[in-house]
Amino acid sequence: MSSEELIYAMALRSCPMIGDSTFRKMLAIAGSAKEAWELSGKELSKIRKIRKSVTESLGNPVYLEKAIQEIEFCEKNNIKIIYALQEKLPGLLSECEDAPVFLFQKGNFDREKNNISIVGTRNITSYGRKFVHGFLEAAKEKSIQTISGLALGVDTCVHEESLHFQIPTVAVIAHGFHLEIYPAKNRKLAEKILENQGAIFSEYSSQQSFIKENFIQRNRIVAGISPSTCIVETAFRGGAISTATFANNYNREVYALPGDINHKYSQGCNLLIAQNKASAIVDIAKLITDLGFQQTKEKQLDLFEDFKDYSKLDKDQKSVIEVIIKTPGIQLEELSEEIGIASYRLLPILLTLELETYIKTNSSKQYFPI
């Protein structure tokens, strides 16, 4: 773990005024963390909006020593250091422009599972609890992995219900692993997550102090890992709104549970739906279908098993829908390569199949069977 490049990278990232964006700009110019550490003031001036304080901290051995101490802390406490320039971040997080350079991991993250982020208010109601329970019960056989923030309320419900249905669950916390798990009420829950093949992530090192702004930053990771985010209950200005905003900015699917217009913790969800920033969750079975979880291996074996009449389809249409059934969520270029039909020829075929309700597409231009 303690390679020279990792030490220099951690030292560089711990310098004052060097955030994730500046770090990446510096490495783009220097080529490596070690070379970035040795950049001259003239070379640094090539980086747009670089601060003078950055040049003052570079080369200071104090930060190299801090990096070594951090690596030793992680090794001692069974914490994996994921360095984004050497290893892919979990889920779809690497696709996010503002993804962290470093992510610290405890436990197991299954990269083969279908990730779904579920968040909401700390003031969950029986309505929200019933939805979380019902959704996870229905989706438990779909090889899913839930992502949430270990906060009280909806997050806690998501983690607990996941454990109940033996679904791996992942918590993203807003502080380093040197601190006791926050909130204190969920310390036992955090232990259970790790005991049951789940994971806990943090972007904060053991040398960083906790500030309340960390919660918002944490939410971008929750949204960034998964292709879809569900907002269960939230007020107009609830923290879950920021998670939905991040997910929308990442061009991910967002779903919200509608509720009573007079209920405070349904108003945020209703607003997201009204502003077309989230799709309304109207039925658990439909949600699972929309998420692309509906196809089991057994179902895929018999491509034309359901009531759809495929006899009227021509050869190309049948080829297209066969691949979409086998690979739900496939995108245009992948479909073109798989079938051997040019993209411009596929588009009218796909449109016809969609209009005749054989398939559907989402905002990410992925195609699913109906």
pLDDT of residue 26: 86
Average pLDDT, integer, range 23-51: 78
With a cut of 50, say whether residue 205 has pLDDT above it.
yes
With a cut of 60, say whether residue 49 has pLDDT above it.
no
Residues 183, 152: contact at Cβ < 8 Å? yes
- Measured torsion, CA atoms of residues 115, 119, 124, 126, in degrees rounded to the nearest 10: -30
- Segment of 49-58, 114-123, 324-333 carrying the highest mean pLDDT: 114-123
CA distance 236 to 240: 9
Worst-scoring range by mean pLDDT, 40-49, 113-122, 176-185, 273-282? 40-49
Average pLDDT, integer, range 47-56: 64
Average pLDDT, integer, range 46-59: 68
- Please give the order of strands across the beta sheet that includes 359-361: 330-331, 366-369, 359-361
With a cut of 70, say whether residue 48 has pLDDT above it.
no
With a cut of 70, say whether residue 46 has pLDDT above it.
no
User: Can you say how many angstroms the Cα of residue 175 is from the centroid of all Cα atoms in its chain?
Assistant: 18
pLDDT of residue 117: 98
pLDDT of residue 303: 37
With a cut of 80, say whether residue 175 has pLDDT above it.
yes
pLDDT of residue 296: 41
Using CB atoms within 10 Å of the CB of residue 250, give its burial: 0 to 12 exposed, 13 to 18 middle, 19+ buried.
buried
Model confidence at 305, pLDDT cuts 50, 70, 90, reads very low
CB atoms within 10 A of CB 252: 23
CA distance 6 to 68: 9
Residues 54, 17: contact at Cβ < 8 Å? yes
DSSP string, 253-272: EEEE----TT-HHHHHHHHH
CB atoms within 10 A of CB 133: 15
With a cut of 90, say whether residue 92 has pLDDT above it.
yes
- Segment of 41-45, 243-247, 341-345 carrying the highest mean pLDDT: 243-247
pLDDT of residue 111: 94
With a cut of 50, say whether residue 116 has pLDDT above it.
yes
With a cut of 70, say whether residue 127 has pLDDT above it.
yes
Summary count for the chain: helices (H), strands (E) = 17, 12
Using CB atoms within 10 Å of the CB of residue 146, give its burial: 0 to 12 exposed, 13 to 18 middle, 19+ buried.
buried
pLDDT of residue 302: 40
Q: Could you tell me which residues are beta bridge partners of residue 107? A: 199
CA distance 131 to 347: 37
Minimal CA–CA distance to 132: which of 153, 150, 113, 111? 153
Give 364's contacts (C-beta < 8 A, 6+ positions apart). 227, 251, 252, 253, 331
Q: Could you tell me which residues are beta bridge partners of residue 104? A: 81, 202
With a cut of 90, say whether residue 225 has pLDDT above it.
yes
- Start-end of H helices in the chain: 4-14, 20-30, 33-37, 41-44, 52-57, 61-76, 126-139, 154-164, 187-195, 214-225, 239-249, 264-274, 284-290, 297-301, 315-326, 332-339, 343-355
Average pLDDT, integer, range 71-90: 95
Question: In this structure, what token pair is assigned to residue 124?
Answer: 């969950």
Query: Which residue reads 């984004």 in tokens?
Result: 84
With a cut of 90, say whether residue 80 has pLDDT above it.
yes
Give 85's contacts (C-beta < 8 A, 6+ positions apart). 9, 27, 101
Model confidence at 337, pLDDT cuts 50, 70, 90, reads confident
Model confidence at 123, pLDDT cuts 50, 70, 90, reads very high
- Please give the order of strands across the beta sheet that includes 144-148: 80-83, 102-107, 199-202, 169-172, 144-148, 114-119, 228-231, 253-256, 279-280
CB atoms within 10 A of CB 202: 26
